Chain A
Amino acid sequence: MASTNNIKTMQKLLKLMLDGEALSTEQMGKVLGLTKEELDAQLKELTDKGILLGWRPVINADVQRSKVHAAIELRIAPEREDGYDKLAQRVSKFDEVDSCYLMSGAYDLLLFVKADSLRDVASFVYEKLATIKGVNSTATHFFLKTYKTQGYLVNREVPNDDRLLYSP
């Protein structure tokens, strides 16, 4: 019974983090009726289970002028027994790679990469990626401008200040 409750709390916590507004852990504790220690324990459990992978702020990439973002399509040869996994995991380990997905369609892996300059992205592609055995081809697309990232609009809608303080 206790564990059912625990799972319910954990689901609520995840929902709050995903769907709600940005809340401090203290505020989340208040909303869920958990003490700081209980909330920390929940977060630790979520992390231990590999559900919560980490916390990152969502930054407007256009403001981070020192970084260059790109999407790279990779065509790779699947291996006997391991399929695409081994190669995909190997590619994922590079620090430049933010995200890596196995895709259906014209190519196999889609990478989102981040580096300090165009040249750095280029050298990452031709020195690291293209030379891996099993990588058949690459196609690199540089990001020009961000309009929405991870659910956040870059040009945020201005809150409606005309809303009445009281309405019946």
Chain B
Amino acid sequence: MEKNLKRFVASHVLDMPKSGIREFFAIAATMPDAISLGIGEPDFVTPWHIREAAIFALENGKTSYTENLGLRGLRNDIAEYVEKNYSVSYNPADEVMVGVGVSEVMDCVLRALVNPGDKVMYHEPCFVSYGPSIELCHGVAIPVKTRPEDGFAFNIDEVKKAWQPGCKAILINFPTNPTGGIAERSQLQELAKFVKEKDMLVISDEIYSELTYDGQHVSIASIDGMKERCVFLHGFSKAFAMTGFRIGYACAPREIIDAAMKVHQYAIMCAPIVSQEAAREALRNGKRAMLHMREQYQSRRDFIVSRFNDMGLDCHLPKGTFYAFPSVRRFGMTSMEFAKYILNEAKVAVVPGSAFGEDGEGFVRASFSTSYNNLVEAADRMEKAIKKLNV
């Protein structure tokens, strides 16, 4: 076999580090009695009425391509849903684009906006793909710190500190995976003022917005004068437990959707029609099931966060998402060392915070998107393991 086939791989991809977490979870996968708190998706199956709509679509022979932007009916429903819940109105004809999950629409948007060398800011700790997605467009990723003492909420001073000439956009995600941090209206207003001053765009991934437990979620797109500088990203995976359907969407002014659509059209053509039909059903009739799941997450959150604090794992109360993000600093271990210790000693898998960027070091992410049974057992086992550390 010919060696050094890597010479064919593009250098910016070759240089990109692979996530170290895979190996860690490969070990966890060999332990049949390990409880995983590593799952970044709902533990609920998609509500039946939504699955049934997908089956009905297949029965009716809905097996074709759709318009590149997505089914017109779905875009209408999305525009209506966004206006009602986020107080910002988009024209479904040319300001809404449906794609294969928020990941794909975000990639399209970035590729449509970023010239080689353009700088894009994003806050850390964050979802694993933001930095790499920017770099894959030959952009420069500029991280902004969020801090545990702020509950990982937004901090404008850190944005100002991180800003550099040439910053074109800032990518935000509130509520945040992995920290559960949120942004209050006043904080978003400060950010809005700043981006106007610096003539930047905001790309706002609001995939967890329905899973806000304390207070009301605010979209930056709804703030005065921000619709023109904002790309609103959302999808169905978290709120409606539809991860496998892979449907996300972008709402933005026509010029931006036009540009993103070019990338989407040549790369993907369109999102699967069956999933789009299911998404319509979710928007029309999914609220009750969504509220039920949210209630379940909220009560699990209250349980696991109080258990963590009781056992000496300092944990702020996440105001959204289904992740707790406790600090492990006082144990004198890196987050990877702590995660390995807990996996071996307690047979509980949590994700080292370092997976979510440098600023995640010193924390672990524990998803409470799992049954009470698992949570109660995981907490008991972790407590025993932590006691052994004698810290």
Contacts and interface: CB of A to CB of B under 8 A. Distances in A.
Interface of A: 12, 15-16, 19-21, 23, 27, 30-31, 33, 157, 160, 163-168
Contact of B45 (A15, A23, A33, A160): A160
A153 to B, nearest CB: 10
B311 interface: no
A27 B372 contact: yes
Contacts of A31: 299, 303, 372, 376
A157 B47 CA distance: 12
Given A19-B292, A33-B306, A165 B25 contact: yes
B38 A165 contact: yes
A33 B24 CA distance: 33
Contacts of A15: 299
A167 B371 CA distance: 17
A165 B349 contact: yes
Contacts of A16: 299
A168 B22 CA distance: 10
Contacts of A23: 372-373, 376
Given A27-B373, A163-B39, A166-B21, 13 more contacts: A21-B371, A21-B372, A23-B376, A31-B303, A163-B41, A165-B29, A165-B39, A166-B25, A167-B38, A167-B40, A167-B243, A168-B129, A168-B355
B213 interface: no
Interface string B127-156: 111000000000000000000000000000
Nearest to A33: B306
A29 to B, nearest CB: 10
Q: A interface, by DSSP: helix, strand, loop or mixed?
A: loop
21 contacts: A19-B292, A19-B295, A20-B372, A21-B371, A21-B372, A23-B372, A23-B376, A27-B372, A27-B373, A27-B376, A30-B307, A31-B372, A31-B376, A157-B45, A160-B45, A165-B25, A165-B38, A165-B39, A166-B39, A166-B40, A167-B243
B28 interface: yes
Contacts of B40: 166-168
A21 B45 contact: no
Nearest to B103: A168
Interface residues of B, number: 36
B159 to A, nearest CB: 24
Contact of B299 (A12, A27, A168): A12
A120 to B, nearest CB: 37
B24 to A, nearest CB: 8
B343 to A, nearest CB: 11
B209 interface: no
B89 interface: no
Contacts of A165: 25, 28-29, 34, 36, 38-39, 349
Given A165-B25, A165-B39, A167-B39, A21 B373 contact: yes
Nearest to B303: A31
Contacts of B45: 157, 160
Contacts of B306: 33
B189 interface: no
A164 B26 CA distance: 11
B296 interface: yes
B351 interface: yes
A164 B355 CA distance: 17
